[in-house]
Amino acid sequence: MRLAPSSIRGRLIAGTVAAVAVAFVVVGVVVLVLTRSSLRTQFDDGLADKARELAAQIEEDDGKVSSEIDPRTIAATEAFEIWAEGHVLAKSSSLGARDLVPERDEHVITSVQLGSHPARQITLHVQPRREPEDHGAADDDSRVVLAFARSTEAVDATVDRVAAVLVGVGLAGILLCVVLLFGVVRFGLSPVRSLAQAIAAIREDDLSARLAAATTAAELAPVAERLDELLGRLAAAFARERELTAEIAHELRTPLSGLRATLEVALDRERPADRYRTALVECLAITRQTEGVVESLLSLARLDAGQVVIAATPIDLDQLVRDVLATVHTRATERHLEITTDLPPITRTLDRDKVRVIITNLVDNAVTYAEEGGHVRVELAGDVVRISNTGCTLDRDQIAHVFERFWRADASRTASGHVGLGLALCKKLADLLGATITAEVTGGRFIATLTLPS
Amino acid sequence: MRALVIEDYSPVRNSVRDGLAEHGYAVDVASNGEDGLWLAEQNPYDVVILDIMLPKLDGLEVLRRLRSKGSKVAVLLLTARDTVEDRVGGLDLGADDYLAKPFAFAELLARVRALVRRAYAVKDPVIRVEDLVIDTVKRVVRRHDDVIPLSPREYALLEYLAMRAGELVTRTEIWEHVYDFRSDAHSNVVDVYVGYLRKKLGAPQLIHTRRGHGYILGGQE
């Protein structure tokens, strides 16, 4: 069982042990102080009782004061001394040559040293007991003084014992507390452990598991819920990724199947050179189309990954549009399309390459999807580039999807080799440039509007 | 044998058409589901090669409609989607076979041959009619151990007659199964080609005429 100081278990145990130790010390000190003072009071009461008892054994007979104290009643740990008129009248044998020192005030109990032991001492001004006929004698309290002392050895030993017991009990308690804490904390943290096990059991290829059921601890429920939400988002992202991969595989398999079929049929038997040539030209065209698909996919992937840098320079939009239109001239002529333009000179500071990709894709789409003999219009007005074509058969619902990846109205490859990436790429690039791009259809005319940032 | 290729992607469509034609098939093509369905309903094809992702009407819908109208034509599905669900779905709709893109043309040919054999309840790719041996894989015809050289059209005619050996085959049936829309000839060429074939196969006569009805390969007389 490892116990790192940074672990929750380590903190809980250390903190609790410290708190328990402080509590034990405080309680122990209080108990000790109370016990000590209670024993002292008891001791002092006993001291005063015995002193009064001794005082009662001092007698006066005819003006002469004498002590009737029986030495046997004085323990070895006790001592007394009696003074009459300032002279020592009697003292206990335990004093030997030493003397007690009386206090000036009566009934005051003080701490003194009795031999080598600490002791308590009381001083009494004694009125000696007289014979009944001795009425005439003067009452002078200060004439006879009694000092009585008793060693506190026994009491001190008791206090020491109590202190020792308290320390022992405290240490044992702390030790027991540590042992119990290990169990308690282990039990208390078991939901964390089971949650960790549930998390560890999640495989990256199966994110359907949920953790909310794995924990019963109220404190961990929000954590499990957040993790479940994260898992949900991850699962959705993974699913999108898989779909995209399947789409990509499909888009690449189709041209591959074209290449393979063309090549295999051509190689099936000996043929005249021009037949091979026809097959090779066909394959080259397929390869070019596939390059376009791969290029679009790569561009989209880079855009997704945020690896694209914008390099804005002043560009002549009208000239850029004319350049793009020149590249589709042959195809437009083949399809008998009429292209009309309205291109006033407009200069904007933008990323030339990205604007060119957007406009190329839009123009290419228009030329591809316009019906044979149809009409394509390209116009510039302020920050707006509008490209439209006739022959659009999409309805409103379909228009909503045109910017999605791999979306095609027919869900199948058309002869043009368009795979539904162009508009998705346009949208992504427009977002990057801070431009907006919208599509609408009115009266069979598809209109794409690119609004550049002003 | 006559095949219909319904495929919108022209490189695949044209290659399969040319390849099948070179292997003696009469081939018609369609580039979308609607045209393909119409052709498949109008003509008694021996096999239909059907792409799934098609414009206008997708391949699975074409298949569903064909089967719902009772067509028993052999259908080979062709598609770039080849998950287990795709394959099971296609087969459960009544497809006879399945081929994922990109495919080997030799495999396509073999599967088409297998479908044709199945359609005519022939198990052995080598058909024997009396002492005539027709290897439908190598497309070689032997009689008395001598190889008989035939033109593709003659071979196609003989193969069709052999598939239905012992049965009466009408001129119209021959015309429908051996010629495609690109054939510029008229149905009376059937008689001409049967004449060529008889001459090449030699004696004793194997192709018998049922006047006013058609021909029978092998069997009686």
CA distances to A305, B14, B22, B105, B147 from A266, rounded to whole Å, are 42, 11, 11, 11, 27
* Residues B52 and B110 both lie in one domain: yes
The kind and range of the H/E element at B142 are strand B140-143
Helix axis angle for A317-327 and A352-369, nearest 10°, is 40
Fold entry, domain A221-302: Helix Hairpins (1.10.287)
* Residues B113 and B6 both lie in one domain: yes
Q: Do B9 and A260 touch (CB under 8 A)?
A: no
Phi then psi dihedrals of residue A180, to 5 deg: -60, -40
Q: Do B101 and A265 touch (CB under 8 A)?
A: no
Residue ending a domain, among B70, B102, B119, is B119
**Chain A residues inside the 8 Å CB shell of B57:** none
Separation CA A56–CA A285 (nearest Å): 137
The predicted structure's pLDDT at residue A410: 59
Q: What is the pLDDT of residues A82-111, one digit of tens each?
A: 888 878 888 888 888 888 888 888 888 888
Say if residues B71 and B46 touch (Cβ distance below 8 Å).
no
The predicted structure's pLDDT at residue A201: 86
**Total CB pairs under 8 A between chain A and B:** 80
Reading the block at residue A166, the tokens are 């308290």
| Residue B200 pLDDT greater than 80, yes or no | yes
* Residues B7 and B114 both lie in one domain: yes
Separation CA A340–CA A407 (nearest Å): 28
Listed by number, the residues of chain A in 403-432 with a beta carbon closer than 8 Å to a beta carbon of chain B are: 410-415
Q: Tell me which of B13, B101, B103 to substitute to probe the interface with A (most A C-beta atoms closer than 10 Å).
A: B101
The predicted structure's pLDDT at residue B66: 93
Q: What is the DSSP string of A12-60?
A: HHHHHHHHHHHHHHHHHHHHHHHHHHHHHHHHHHHHHHHHHHHHTTEEE
Say if residues A318 and A344 touch (Cβ distance below 8 Å).
yes
| CA quadruple A194, A197, A201, A202: dihedral, nearest 10 | 80
CA distances to A30, A332, A362, A363, B216 from A373, rounded to whole Å, are 107, 9, 19, 16, 54
Distance from CA of A253 to the nearest CA of B (A): 6
Give the nearest partner residue to A262 out of B15, B80, B103, using CB atoms. Answer: B15
Separation CA B112–CA A186 (nearest Å): 70
Domain ranges in chain A are: 10-160, 221-302, 310-451
The predicted structure's pLDDT at residue A415: 47
Separation CA A358–CA A361 (nearest Å): 5
Reading the block at residue A244, the tokens are 């995209």
The angle subtended at Cα B182 by Cα A254 and Cα B72, nearest 5°, is 65
The predicted structure's pLDDT at residue A383: 87
Count Cβ neighbours within 10 Å for each residue of A281-294 and write b for 16 or more, e otherwise: ebbebbeebbebbe
**Chain A residues inside the 8 Å CB shell of B83:** 246
Give the nearest partner residue to A256 out of B16, B55, B102, using CB atoms. Answer: B102
Give residue A437's region: left, alpha or beta (phi > 0; psi -120 to 50): beta
Structural domain tally of chain B?
Answer: 2
Length of chain A: 454
Give the nearest partner residue to A412 out of B14, B58, B104, using CB atoms. Answer: B58
Percent of chain B with pLDDT over 90: 37
Q: Between B81 and A291, where is the model more confident? A: A291
Q: Do B105 and A268 touch (CB under 8 A)?
A: yes
Cα A70 off chain centre by? 82
The predicted structure's pLDDT at residue A134: 54
* Residues B100 and B137 both lie in one domain: no
Separation CA A264–CA A266 (nearest Å): 5
Q: Do A254 and B15 touch (CB under 8 A)?
A: no
A275 to chain B, any CB pair closer than 8 A? The answer is no
The CATH number of whichever domain residue B199 belongs to comes to 1.10.10.10
The predicted structure's pLDDT at residue A138: 53
Model ipTM value: 0.84
Provide, for chain B, the percentages of residues in helix, strand and coil under a 3-state DSSP scheme, each rounded to the nearest 5.
40, 20, 35
The dihedral built from the CA positions of residue A269, A271, A275 and A281, taken in this order, carries a sign that is positive
Q: pLDDT tier at B74 (50, 70, 90 boundaries)? A: very high
Fold entry, domain A10-160: Beta-Lactamase (3.30.450)
Distance from CA of A439 to the nearest CA of B (A): 22
Q: Which domain holds residue B202?
A: 126-217
CA distances to A72, A129, A153, B159 from A80, rounded to whole Å, are 13, 18, 17, 149
Separation CA A316–CA A266 (nearest Å): 48
Tokens 């005082």: give the residue.
A55
Say if residues A454 and A436 touch (Cβ distance below 8 Å).
no
A269 to chain B, any CB pair closer than 8 A? The answer is yes
Q: Tell me which of B50, B54, B76, B105 to substitute to probe the interface with A (most A C-beta atoms closer than 10 Å).
A: B105
Residue of A nearest to B56 (CA): A410
* Residues B197 and B154 both lie in one domain: yes
The CATH number of whichever domain residue B10 belongs to comes to 3.40.50.2300
Q: Which CATH number describes the domain made up of A310-451? A: 3.30.565.10
Report how many helices (DSSP H) and strands (DSSP E) chain B contains, helices first. 8, 12
* Residues B191 and B84 both lie in one domain: no
pTM for the model stands at: 0.62
Separation CA A136–CA B143 (nearest Å): 180
Give the nearest partner residue to B102 out of A253, A269, A415, using CB atoms. Answer: A253
Residue of A nearest to B10 (CA): A415
The predicted structure's pLDDT at residue A261: 93
Say if residues B131 and B144 touch (Cβ distance below 8 Å).
yes
* Residues B111 and B130 both lie in one domain: no
Residues of chain A with pLDDT under 50: 1, 414-415
